[in-house]
Amino acid sequence: MRRSLLPLLLAFAFLGGTLQAQEKVMVYTSMKESLMGKLRDAFKKKQPNVAFDYYSAGAGKVMAKLAAERQAGKVAADILWHSEVPDFFQLKAEGMFEPYASPEAGAIRSTVTDPDKTFAIARLGTLGIVYNTDNAAKVGKVPKTWADLLDPAFKNKVTIANPALSGTSFMSCAMLVEKFGWDYFAKLKANGAKIGQGSGQVVDDTASGDFTICIGVDYIALDKIQKGAHLKLVFPPEMLVIPSPIAIMKTSPNKPAAKKFIDFLLSKEGQSIITASGTLPARVDVPIDKSMGLVAPEEAIKRAIKLDYPAAIKLKEGFVKQFEKTLR
Amino acid sequence: MRPRRFGTAELLLLLSILILVVVVAIPILLIFWNAFVVEGKPDFLRALALLKEPDTLEALKNSLVIAGGTTVLSTIIGVFFAWLVSRTDLPYKATMKVLFLVPFMLPSFIGALAWKILLSPRGGHINRLLMDLLHLEDPVFNIMSLGGIIAVETMYLFPFVFIQVSGALERMDPTLEEAARISGAGLFTITRRITLPLMMPSILAGALLVALYSLAHFGVPAILGTERNIFIIPTKIYEKIYASGGNFEAIRTGTMLSSILVLSAAAILYLQSLVLSSGRFQVISGKSMRPMVLKLRGLKWPLLILSVVYIALTVVLPTATIFLVGTLKTYGLAFKLENMTLDNFTYILFKWELTRDAIWNSFYLSLCAAAVTMLIGTLISYVLVKTKIRGKFLLEFLGVLPFSVPGTVIALGVILMWSGRFGVNLYNTAWIIFVAYIARYMAFALKSTSAALEQVHDSLEEAARACGASKWQAMKDVVLPLIKPGMVAAFFLIFLPALRELTTSVLLYGPHTRTIGVAIYTLNEDGETVYAAALAAIALVIIVLGQLLIKRVTRAKIESA
């Protein structure tokens, strides 16, 4: 009997590895499980016939993966969704996207739009100053403005996600440079600020007390705050509002399912899940839960540091190098 | 009778060569080709120029420092504890001997994760405790440094030396030492002039194993170094590949660094073969003799306590940390009951595709890789050990290759070979990891199956043939049953490490093919520390269950034999 067990197990294993549902969609995204998990559960309930899965990593890694897949001639992503807006203009220019005018897109408002409908905005991410309340209490100071990050009280205690890895960090730093110049980052360096890894890790490193302050993404910080982390998220007057575009890959063999997901995401239901997870909805008709400490979208857009998004493509390569040079 | 020119033996030889060429040789050749050939022409200057880039140079330097430091430290600790359990009257020696092997079971990257949680400069629990207690401004320890990486690698690699040396110490002929003693030599002289020289081959063999492993190791430096901009060759390759987005210059740098890894591994293995083949030290007799035992007297209990504390610090503390952090509602909270929950475990076991798939992927990939590699290994070993045909030297040469190829190099090699450039595109599938695992674990299969085959004397097979059995019958009814324990051992020798594999799969995984190691690593990278810890805890449970299973299976085998 034992002899027949092994081949059987092997057969099972391979079967299991290749079993497929009838319709499927794979999203490459920089959104984390605390957001994607809720979207997945609701979408599965709504579309039980679509096998939904996602691959989540920092925007830098997602783009590298995508590029490698294009080289290998095998793109596994049906949908791309992250926050490094210039990448979307770049891929659009390369003809990598399938234009799609979702019926839900009419109610979307954002700081950037694509008239050709190759991508839609699915969320308005905001970044603020996330600080460890225990550590802040120890020095008796609470950061409120961008200038507070230069306070000697926080020397060696500030971390910023690596813009080469994190899309939100890239956009944030580009905005801060736009507003305050490279001089601001030179001063941050002088105050001992460190380049961290991804946007999630800097928040966890702040929660653990390894750092006192990080520039953090709204829903990542709020998720941990809800679970009891000793963190607080504050938004300085000059806000970082980063739209997260979503697009269907031209190479996708699963376009109908991909469209179903985008419709769902842009719908009132999808956007309500987005804001309930702690970030801003892109729809005008979805109210936010102010008790979480979010800033209403209208006000956030008004306070946001402006950026010329299409022009930011050219910025990219040089920006990361300059950032490394200034902060490393 | 004239021998047939092409029979079963030749066919098997050809098949074996073919498998090794496709699975191991071509990927390695592709690495060297891409590193040193530009547009069809050899170009070493360009290779050198790439190596002179400050970040690659830095990675090379760090690799040397870490491998060197880990080797020296592991050797000191390994030799000391080996001596303690085999040459002194330490209480509970037998138990301690087993306990010193436990660090082997703990995957070192999980250990690294635990130490990061405990000793990261300002966030680590121990550092925070010390800073609060002693009212310090600055943290006491920084595990995220070169020294920290060396310390953590040593904790989990010293058993390589320990096993070699304690085995040799026990088998050593004690009369040599007695002779010296009778001639009036003191303990110090005996140790220096007799024992140490006799032990040298074993010590060196263990040390070289540590060096080989540490040089090619990804997990610990990735978790403790990358965040603080400390890279070694394997993590630099990982960074280059992931930052490249298919950019060929980056892949070329990767192949160049890989070539260095292969060459240094080959050099280490060459040294090892020199050490092992030096006949000068063949004084270990097979007879079991009771060696001279040093009386520790007053030091007896302090040294036992030291050993127990060492095990507790390196095994129990990190394991407990992983389980405790896995229960926290969110990272950074204190270990209080109100902050704890089992939700993380149910979430990653039942709700999250990422982790659920990872467990399943690792399980079936290791199962398949172990079964297939074991079978191929048996075939190749059979040709190597049992046949006498022309052209075998080629197989012998190819058979050495898997031993000298680090996991990172294999991964890069299979990427070059199997992502569509040669007609077969396995990119993003489980197959590419499967092919890589076969190459990576072939050495294990070859080692244990050839050892088993060497013990089956040719006369047994010949006797069966003489009685009229066909070659196949002789093989099936005589040889196979005799080498079955060796094959089972090979299976588990591959299955268990493959289950916790990180170095290779981290470069090969696609959205559907994450392994347990990759999932833990990426969760840590994404700042999902509590989930990473919870998954690591589950992985530890699986590994311990696997070990227990092996014990049962192998014991049943011995009893039935």
DSSP B222-236: HHHTGGGT---HHHH
CA distance B293 to chain A (A): 47
Query: What is the distance between the alpha carbons of residues B3 and A240, in angstroms, rounded to a whole number?
Result: 82
Residues of chain A with pLDDT below 70 are 1-21
CA distance B38 to chain A (A): 19
Partner-chain contact A37 B351, CB within 8 Å: yes
Which of A33, A132, A321 to mutate to test binding with chain B, by most B CBs within 10 Å of its CB? A33
- What pTM did the predictor assign? 0.89
Which of A130, A227, A252, A325 to mutate to test binding with chain B, by most B CBs within 10 Å of its CB? A227
Partners of A210 on chain B (C-beta within 8 Å) are 120-124
Closest-CA residue of A relative to B117 is A208
Partners of B437 on chain A (C-beta within 8 Å) are none
Partner-chain contact B528 A204, CB within 8 Å: yes
Given a cut of 50, is residue B46 above it in pLDDT? Answer: yes
Q: The tokens of B220 are what?
A: 């610990």
Helices (H), B88-186: 93-99, 108-119, 125-134, 146-157, 159-171, 174-182
What residues does A127 pair with on adjacent strands? A217, A240
Query: What pLDDT is stored for residue B559 in this prediction?
Result: 57
CA distance B127 to chain A (A): 10
The backbone torsions φ and ψ at residue A9, rounded to the nearest 5 degrees and listed phi first, read -60, -45
Query: What is the distance between the alpha carbons of residues B59 and B66, in angstroms, rounded to a whole number?
Result: 10
The backbone torsions φ and ψ at residue A56, rounded to the nearest 5 degrees and listed phi first, read -115, 130
Partners of B226 on chain A (C-beta within 8 Å) are 197
**Does B293 or B281 have the greater pLDDT score?**
B293
Partner-chain contact B331 A328, CB within 8 Å: no
Closest-CA residue of B relative to A20 is B512
DSSP E strand stretches across B383-459: none
Partner-chain contact A76 B528, CB within 8 Å: no
Query: What pLDDT is stored for residue B38 in this prediction?
Result: 78
* Residue matched to tokens 């984390």: A32
What are B161-170's pLDDT values in tens digits? Answer: 999 898 888 8
Query: What is the distance between the alpha carbons of residues A180 and A169, in angstroms, rounded to a whole number?
Result: 16
Query: What is the distance between the alpha carbons of residues B30 and B53, in angstroms, rounded to a whole number?
Result: 23
Mean pLDDT of B459-472: 87
CA distance B427 to chain A (A): 7
Query: What pLDDT is stored for residue A1 in this prediction?
Result: 40
Contacts 24+ apart (CB under 8 A), A308-314: A309/A85, A309/A86, A309/A89, A309/A111, A309/A112, A310/A89, A312/A85, A312/A86, A312/A89, A312/A174, A313/A86, A313/A89, A313/A90, A313/A93
Q: Among A316-320, B103-107, B256-260, B525-529, which is the least confidently predicted range?
A: A316-320
All CATH 3.40.190.10 domain ranges of chain A, comma separated, are: 18-124+243-296, 125-240+308-327
Partners of B124 on chain A (C-beta within 8 Å) are 208, 210
Q: Are strands A231-234 and A120-132 parallel, antiparallel or unpaired?
A: antiparallel
Mean pLDDT of B485-490: 88
Number of continuous H segments (helices) and E segments (strands) in chain A: 13, 10
Query: What is the distance between the alpha carbons of residues A76 and B12, in angstroms, rounded to a whole number?
Result: 39
Partners of B371 on chain A (C-beta within 8 Å) are 6, 10
Query: What is the distance between the alpha carbons of residues A79 and B380, in angstroms, rounded to a whole number?
Result: 46
CA distance B292 to chain A (A): 47
Query: What pLDDT is stored for residue A79 in this prediction?
Result: 97
Helical axes B54-87 vs B233-244, angle rounded to 10°: 140
Dihedral (C-alpha) B468, B474, B476, B477: value to the nearest 10 degrees? Answer: 80
Query: What pLDDT is stored for residue B400 in this prediction?
Result: 77
Which of A39, A53, A56, A204 to mutate to test binding with chain B, by most B CBs within 10 Å of its CB? A204
**Helix (H) or strand (E) run with residue A25 in it:** strand A23-29
CA distance A181 to chain B (A): 25
SS3 state at B144: coil
Rounded to a whole number of angstroms, the distance between the first and last alpha carbons of chain B is 40
Query: What pLDDT is stored for residue B128 in this prediction?
Result: 87
Helices (H), chain A: 2-18, 33-46, 59-72, 85-93, 133-139, 167-180, 182-190, 199-207, 218-226, 255-266, 268-276, 297-303, 312-327
Which of B526, B528, B549 to mutate to test binding with chain A, by most A CBs within 10 Å of its CB? B526
Closest-CA residue of B relative to A28 is B511
Partners of B427 on chain A (C-beta within 8 Å) are 68-69, 72, 74
Q: Identify the CATH homologous superfamily for domain A125-240+308-327.
A: Periplasmic binding protein-like II (3.40.190.10)
DSSP B294-330: B--GGGHHHHHHHHHHHHIIIIIHHHHHHHHHHTBSS
CA distance A134 to chain B (A): 11
CA distance B320 to chain A (A): 18
Query: What pLDDT is stored for residue B105 in this prediction?
Result: 84
Partner-chain contact B428 A76, CB within 8 Å: yes
Q: Among A6-15, A126-135, B174-183, B522-531, which is the least confidently predicted range?
A: A6-15
Query: What is the distance between the alpha carbons of residues A233 and A79, in angstroms, rounded to a whole number?
Result: 30
What are B436-463's pLDDT values in tens digits? Answer: 999 999 988 998 888 889 888 888 888 8
The backbone torsions φ and ψ at residue A141, rounded to the nearest 5 degrees and listed phi first, read -135, 145
Given a cut of 50, is residue B535 above it in pLDDT? Answer: yes
Given a cut of 50, is residue B1 above it in pLDDT? Answer: no
Partner-chain contact A132 B333, CB within 8 Å: no
Instruction: Select the residue of B420, B430, B526 nearest A200 (Cβ to Cβ).
Output: B526
Partner-chain contact B526 A201, CB within 8 Å: yes
Instruction: Select the residue of B120, B333, B510 nearest A76 (Cβ to Cβ).
Output: B510
Partners of B327 on chain A (C-beta within 8 Å) are none
CA distance B121 to chain A (A): 6
Sign of the C-alpha dihedral computed for residues A294, A297, A299 and A300 taken in this order? positive
Q: What b/e string do you get for A222-255 counting C-beta neighbours within 10 Å, with b at 16 or more? A: bbbbebebbbbbebbeebbbbbbbbbbbebbebb
Topology at the third CATH level for domain A18-124+243-296:
D-Maltodextrin-Binding Protein; domain 2 (3.40.190)
Taking a C-beta distance cutoff of 8 angstroms, is the pair A83, A30 a contact? yes
All domains of chain B in start order, with CATH: 29-287+295-325 (1.10.3720.10), 335-561 (1.10.3720.10)
Rounded to a whole number of angstroms, the distance between the first and last alpha carbons of chain A is 62
**Does A222 or B239 have the greater pLDDT score?**
A222
Query: What pLDDT is stored for residue A10 in this prediction?
Result: 55
Instruction: Select the residue of A57, A71, A228 nearest B333 (Cβ to Cβ).
Output: A228
Spatial CB neighbours of A201, under 8 Å, sequence gap ≥ 6: A161, B227, B524, B525, B526, B527
Taking a C-beta distance cutoff of 8 angstroms, is the pair B369, B498 a contact? yes
Given a cut of 60, is residue B379 above it in pLDDT? Answer: yes
* Predicted confidence band of residue B246 (pLDDT cuts 50, 70, 90): low
Closest-CA residue of B relative to A203 is B527
**Chain A / chain B CB contacts < 8 angstroms:** 153
Helices (H), B37-107: 44-51, 54-87, 93-99
Sign of the C-alpha dihedral computed for residues B463, B464, B470 and B472 taken in this order? negative
ipTM of the complex: 0.86
Partner-chain contact B425 A77, CB within 8 Å: no
Partners of B520 on chain A (C-beta within 8 Å) are none
Partners of B353 on chain A (C-beta within 8 Å) are 40, 53
Task: Round the average pLDDT of chain B to a whole number and report it.
Answer: 87
Query: What is the distance between the alpha carbons of residues A224 and A228, in angstroms, rounded to a whole number?
Result: 6
Closest-CA residue of A relative to B508 is A65
Given a cut of 90, is residue B558 above it in pLDDT? Answer: no
Query: What is the distance between the alpha carbons of residues B492 and B484, in angstroms, rounded to a whole number?
Result: 12
Spatial CB neighbours of A29, under 8 Å, sequence gap ≥ 6: A36, A54, A55, A56, A62, A79, A80, A81, A82
Q: What is the CA radius of gyration of chain B?
A: 25
Q: The tokens of B231 are what?
A: 């890279």
Query: What pLDDT is stored for residue B393 in this prediction?
Result: 80
**Helix (H) or strand (E) run with residue B366 in it:** helix B353-386
Please state the length of chain A.
Answer: 328
Closest-CA residue of A relative to B522 is A57
**Cα–Cα distance list, A25 to A114, A143, B359, B511 (Å):** 23, 42, 22, 12
Residue percentage of chain B with pLDDT more than 70: 94
Closest-CA residue of B relative to A73 is B420
Instruction: Select the residue of A28, A60, A201 nearest B527 (Cβ to Cβ).
Output: A201
Query: What pLDDT is stored for residue A2 in this prediction?
Result: 46
